[in-house]
Every structure is written in C-alpha cells, then in structure tokens.
Amino acid sequence: MHLVLVSVVLLSTVHGPQRLKRPTFPAVQLYGPNLNETLHFRPYDDKGKSRKPALGELTRFLRCRHTGRQHQVDPRLMRALYTVGRHYAGKRVEVYSGYRTRAYCTRLHSRHLTASAVDFRVVGVPNEALISWLRATFHPSGVGYYPNGVHVHLDLDRQRDTYWVDRGDDGPDAVADASDASDASDASDGDRDGAVTLLPTAPEIVPEGLIPPMDDPALAD
C-alpha cells in the first residue's frame, strides 16, 4: 500500500500539473452587427510571425455588406484593428462598415473604397475615450467622431493626421491637422458632405500602437 502511494507522489512530482500555454498573440473578437458575424482575428502566431491567412480572413469579414463584394484590406488597417482589440483586451470590437463599393459611397475619394477605412466601436468604451486613444496612437491617420452616432471612423491612408467632428445634419464641422489640401477636402469619409474649419494640430506621439504588443494581456491604458 505504501509503495503505491510513493509511486503516485513521484509521478506527480516529475510531471507536475498540466498547464495550458496561453498564446503570446491571442485572437481578438471582431463582430459585424450588420452581417451578424464574428471573427476571432489573429494575424500573428505564438512567435509573432504573420499568419498568411489572416489578411484574407479580415478581407472577407470587412466585405461590402450591401453587395458581398470584397477588396483586399490595407495591411495597415489590419494591424490597427488587432492593436485596438489587444489594447481593449476582453472587449468586443463591433465593426459597422469596412469596404464599400462605389454605389454605397457618397464621397469620390472615400477610404472605404480601398478597404483602408473602418467604422467601429468598442463595447463598454465611450467613443470620446476611444477617439482620444486613436488620435494618440496611429500616425498618420484619419479619425472621425460622430457625437450623435454609434461608431467612430479610422483610416490610415493619409499624408497627414486628420480629425473631424460630424454632428449629423450640419455635416462635418471640424478638422485638425489638415495641412495636406487633398486630405482637408476629403476629411469626412462618412455619408455627408460639408465645409470644414481647420483647427490646430494635435501633438504627435510615437505610433507604438502599430507595433504588435509583446506582453499579454494587452498594453495598459
């Protein structure tokens, strides 16, 4: 009887309790309310190397919700969405619009046409706080705030940081750092046109958000 007990103890000591290894780059949860689809998005493997299927997975997820057509997502946007999900670890990122075909874009140079823009929110995070973090993290970027709306806008296909506020019926009414004339004229990638008023540039911060976080869970606020 004693010999059996000793054997069990020795086996437990040698092998120890089995622990599941948590991935260094875990998946983040993206949800598309309009299509009722969820994507557990993971662009990097455990070693931090890019997963080749990831861009295609995100391209399908961000397809035009009206037509079902796809356009390859801008890799910068792919990295940004993952960074958002990691920063707000455990919170669902709801994506309302990614790629849109010409028939569903009212602006000639909308970044949605090239799949380099996304309209989204983070559940449980006030849009005002999300806007502040986006502006401090991604450069150069276009960030749109809609005080009367559900989502915010982010695009990364610009020469200068550009920021605007669109209250709805009045159209976009404020843009920061639109020193590039082409960006200023196309500040709003939403569904409304309108004149813009230039405001002082927000201070630039090193874009650490573009680098995959190495720790787990996500970077602290």
- Which residues make beta-bridge pairs with 142? 155, 162
Looking at residue 42, its pLDDT comes to: 96
pLDDT tens-digit map of 196-207: 333 333 333 323
Domain-embedded: residue 60: yes
Q: Which domain holds residue 88?
A: 24-210
Do 45 and 51 meet the contact criterion of CB atoms below 8 Å apart?
yes
pLDDT tens-digit map of 143-182: 999 999 999 999 998 999 999 999 875 555 444 444 333 4
Looking at residue 220, its pLDDT comes to: 26
Looking at residue 16, its pLDDT comes to: 52
Domain-embedded: residue 9: no
Looking at residue 109, its pLDDT comes to: 87
Domain-embedded: residue 62: yes
pLDDT tens-digit map of 13-66: 445 555 666 678 999 999 999 999 999 999 999 989 999 999 999 999 999 999
Domain-embedded: residue 1: no
Please count the structural domains in the chain: 1
Buried b (16+ CB within 10 A) or exposed e, 94-128: bbbbbbbeeebbebeebbbbbbbbbbbbbeeeebe
pLDDT tens-digit map of 79-113: 999 999 999 999 999 999 999 999 998 888 899 99
Domain-embedded: residue 113: yes
Do 157 and 167 meet the contact criterion of CB atoms below 8 Å apart?
no
* CB neighbour list of residue 70: distance below 8 Å, 6 or more residues apart: 59, 60, 63, 64, 99
